Amino acid sequence: MPASHTALYSHVIFSTKNRANYITPDLRDRLHQYIGGIIRRADGNLIAAGGAADHMHLLVRLHPRTALADVLRLVKANSSEVDP
């Protein structure tokens, strides 16, 4: 039986509440690291992160058994806890 390989990449974009400018330059790197940790605990990898003060772009790779919606729920719920 041949081996199989699955690579699921997703480009995710989400905004801050009311599109407010919460993602300041001094917070951005720590926020990206924190979100990367959330994704790793969900059996995924944060490949790239970027965005602006009012929104984020994430390129993530997830394991096939991991639902993107579940990971995003964790990211959005927990990323608001990062202190400036």
DSSP class of residue 1 equals -
Alpha-carbon gap, residue 60 to 75, rounded angstroms? 12
The model's pLDDT over 19-42, given as tens digits with 9 standing for 90+, comes to 999 999 999 999 999 999 999 999
Tokens read off for 71: 């990971």
DSSP class of residue 81 equals T
Give residue 76's pLDDT: 87
Alpha-carbon gap, residue 54 to 41, rounded angstroms? 25
Query: Which sequence spans correspond to the domains of the chain?
Result: 8-79
Give residue 74's pLDDT: 92
Give residue 81's pLDDT: 66
Alpha-helical regions (H) of the chain? 25-41, 68-79
Residue 37: phi, psi to the nearest 5? -65, -40
Domain covering 8-79 in this structure, CATH number: 3.30.70.1290
Give residue 1's pLDDT: 58
pLDDT at 83 over 60: no
The model's pLDDT over 54-79, given as tens digits with 9 standing for 90+, comes to 999 999 999 989 999 999 999 988 87
Paired with 10 in beta bridges are 60
Alpha-carbon gap, residue 41 to 34, rounded angstroms? 11
